[in-house]
Structure 1
Amino acid sequence: MRHTCLFFHAHPDDEALLTAGTMAGLARRGHRVVLVLATAGERGLTSDALRGDGLGGVRREEAHASARILGCARVAFLGYADSGHTGAPAAPGGAQPFASADVAEAAARLAGILAEERADLLTVYDPAGGYGHPDHVQVHRVGYRAAHLAGTPVVLEATVDRTLLLRGLRAASWVHRFPPEFDRNAFRTAYGARSEITHRVPVKRHWRAKRASLAAHLSQARGGDSERTLAALGRLPGPAFRQVLGTEWYIQRGLPAGPVLRDPLATLAGTVATAARR
């Protein structure tokens, strides 16, 4: 059966980091994949040459390029402003920052797309918004409300196995100089605990699409004078890239205890028992 899967993200490039392999895999299996972005990411860190009012337009184009690589059938923007890491107030005459937007209003916008697409699956973020960005936390709130309004049957929280993340950051610090604003200790409470994760989706066979999706977000390769994590990941050799980014993790709330699932559509298809593999 062909399903429609809607991936809801805060900014362009979030899809590349968290869900690109899953998106490419579902598209290759013949499912309809839709990318919805709350903002254009106009306050993202970038090189000095790209700072200014035009960054949002650049990042919109990058989002479309990434979506084409992943096989998305549609890209939609909810039209909110990027709140930045601190949650920016609304600019006079400007769009409402997503983090401070009315949840019911934003959910209604997203629910309209879910209903129009007859989506079977929606991805959001975990309650912490991954690493705590205000717009990511809002994705969690708005996404769940929208799924309820539209009657979307499955909601998955895109996350990262925190145990593996902390190990990886510790190892990476020996060979990679993180930017000054990067606080490794903040990740001790970020993303999902291993005990919460219900889906561990293998995406190694889609590594080329995932790496090309990362590369499409060229504006996010540097922040000031520092190389950003997105660019460092994109430069990994193929075997290392597959090892580091070959799995994507999700949490489906309310599932009974059982083996971790490998297929994001397992609970839709009623194949939890056969789709589960440790």
Structure 2
Amino acid sequence: MTTRPFTLVSFHAHPDDEALLTGGTLARAAAAGHRVVLVTATGGEAGLADATPEPAELGRRRRAELAASARALGVARLVQLGYADSGHEPGPATFASVSPDEPAARLAHVLREEGAQVLTSYDRAGGYGHPDHVQVHRVGALAAAAAGTPVLLEATVDRQSIARAVAALRLLSRVTPMPELPDLTCAFTSRSDITHRVDVRAHLPAKLAALRAHASQAGGTDGLRTIALLLRLPPPLRARVLGAEWFRDALGTASCGGVDDVFGPTHRRRTAVRWM
């Protein structure tokens, strides 16, 4: 049996999601010599921005930022599906409103083209419930099944860890401006359901570069936003907040909650037949 690089396809809703949820994992995979493919459903034109440009202009800016982020993370191929950003109130022609079968077929085509061993999508809740994130969960599951992709990992956040982080940020808000911090007690995934905790501390420079690439998301009509907040954290706290990324094995085959590698031993056994 020979050893060959794996291919990881990472599916996201909007530009900047790839950096926030999986940036360290993608950079770590690329640095190890694996092929990393990034697929994004929308251009993010319905999002907030520092200067509140027209949607078409914001979409152009965010697609350019996405390309810069992909370069920082070592992405080998970037695929933009071009669906309309749903915002928080999906219209009839937006990504969240289309039948998931159509984008799933397009994503499955990429998976087959690439011979992907791993696909990342989002958890069932869509993280914090954004309609496009929930649709990514649906589409990812359909696409992995259609393409026969052996590993489907749902990018998420450890709910207990984020609760501690929010508590720390509330304390920090006494000395620095903070956005309104939402109630995330039912968001993302409980620690007991998480199968992978990936240590990305060695790849924080790449993840931070990817976050900085999304300059339009450093402000907006709601004031200081998540990316700007993360980049302003003191380095020790920033390393704690950004130094791990979490996934749930959607196919239920990972045996524990401490897997530190999306191409870990369990997954190597499941895909080894491809290289014999």
TM more than 0.5: yes
Post-superposition offset of 1:79: 1.4
Q: Contact between 2:8 and 2:34, CA under 8 Å: does it hold in 1?
A: yes
**Alpha carbons of structure 1 residues 43 and 49: separation in structure 2 relative to 1, 3 Å:** closer
Whether 1:224 aligns to 2:193 is no
**Alpha carbons of structure 1 residues 170 and 51: separation in structure 2 relative to 1, 3 Å:** farther
Q: Contact between 2:46 and 2:86, CA under 8 Å: does it hold in 1?
A: yes
Unmatched segments (≥5 aa) in structure 1: 91-95, 272-278
Q: Contact between 1:82 and 1:98, CA under 8 Å: does it hold in 2?
A: yes
**What residue is the counterpart of 2:193 in the other structure?**
196
**What residue is the counterpart of 1:255 in the other structure?**
253
**What residue is the counterpart of 2:234 in the other structure?**
237
Q: Secondary structure of the residue that 2:82 maps to in structure 1?
A: strand
CA distance in structure 2 between the aligned counterparts of 1:14 and 1:151, rounded to whole angstroms: 25
Which residue identity lines up with residue 79 of structure 1 in the other structure?
Answer: G
Whether 1:139 aligns to 2:142 is no
Query: C-alpha deviations, 1:180-209, integer Å up to 9, x for none?
Result: xx4522x11000000000000000000111
**What residue is the counterpart of 1:64 in the other structure?**
67
CA distance in structure 2 between the aligned counterparts of 1:175 and 1:64, rounded to whole angstroms: 33
**What residue is the counterpart of 1:265 in the other structure?**
263
Which residue identity lines up with residue 110 of structure 1 in the other structure?
Answer: L
Which residue identity lines up with residue 268 of structure 2 in the other structure?
Answer: A
Unmatched segments (≥5 aa) in structure 2: 271-276
Which residue identity lines up with residue 258 of structure 2 in the other structure?
Answer: V
Q: Contact between 1:47 and 1:225, CA under 8 Å: does it hold in 2?
A: no
Q: How does 1:1-278 map to 2 (within 5 A)?
A: 1-87=4-90, 89-90=91-92, 96-176=93-173, 177-179=177-179, 182=180, 184-185=182-183, 187-224=184-221, 226-253=223-250, 254-255=252-253, 257-266=255-264, 267-270=266-269
Which residue identity lines up with residue 162 of structure 2 in the other structure?
Answer: L
Which residue identity lines up with residue 119 of structure 1 in the other structure?
Answer: A
Q: Secondary structure of the residue that 1:50 maps to in structure 2?
A: coil
**Alpha carbons of structure 1 residues 8 and 225: separation in structure 2 relative to 1, 3 Å:** closer
Post-superposition offset of 1:225: 5.9
Task: Quote the RMSD (CA, aligned, Å).
Answer: 1.5
Which residue identity lines up with residue 215 of structure 1 in the other structure?
Answer: R
Which residue identity lines up with residue 102 of structure 2 in the other structure?
Answer: E
**Alpha carbons of structure 1 residues 147 and 39: separation in structure 2 relative to 1, 3 Å:** same
Q: Contact between 2:192 and 2:257, CA under 8 Å: does it hold in 1?
A: no
